[in-house]
Amino acid sequence: MTRFLDIAKNRYSCRKYDKRPVEEEKLKLVLEAGRVAPSAVNFQPWHFYVIQEADQLEKFYAAYHREWFKTAPCVIVICANHEQAWKRKEDGKDHGDVDVAITTDHMTLQATELGLATCWICNFYVDKTSELLKLPEYMEPVVILPLGYPLDTADPERHEEKRKPLSEIVSYGI
């Protein structure tokens, strides 16, 4: 049985993909993992845009100018619907971005379990992405998630050196 922590340690930001397409069954499992993710008040204020046709991918490269990005055979754009997102009453905090982060994490971990790879992209041209997807004003593209079979690797033990120890990030009590 695969342990969750093993999956989490094996997930990494892939920047080199095999061009073979992601099978429909695997894509659906990744999307389903996102669908079942928790959200504030269970409002589920997200929408997933899947781009996998070569001509559409070619147009979409204008949203993120990195050569490695062009190797991914599938791209999922995860958007927050701010008309549906829960807003905290005390200060009006819109939780759409938090909910998108949760659903994206579910998708990245499901992809890893299936032998696929992803790279969480937040530094992209938001206006261009909105234009290409013809998004209404209330729909915000938050994450671009390339998806495919990896041609690079990452050592699952890298976390021992690249992550802060628990002693630096955990406090007990008030």
pLDDT digits (tens, 9 = 90+) for 6-21: 999 999 999 999 999 9
Alpha carbons within 13 A on the beta-carbon side of 172: 2
* Alpha helices per DSSP H over the chain: 4-10, 24-35, 54-60, 96-113, 126-133, 159-162, 166-169
All structural domains of the chain: 16-154 (3.40.109.10)
Rounded to two decimals, what is the model's pTM? 0.95
- In this prediction, residue 2 carries a pLDDT of 65
CA 31 from chain center: how many Å?
A: 10
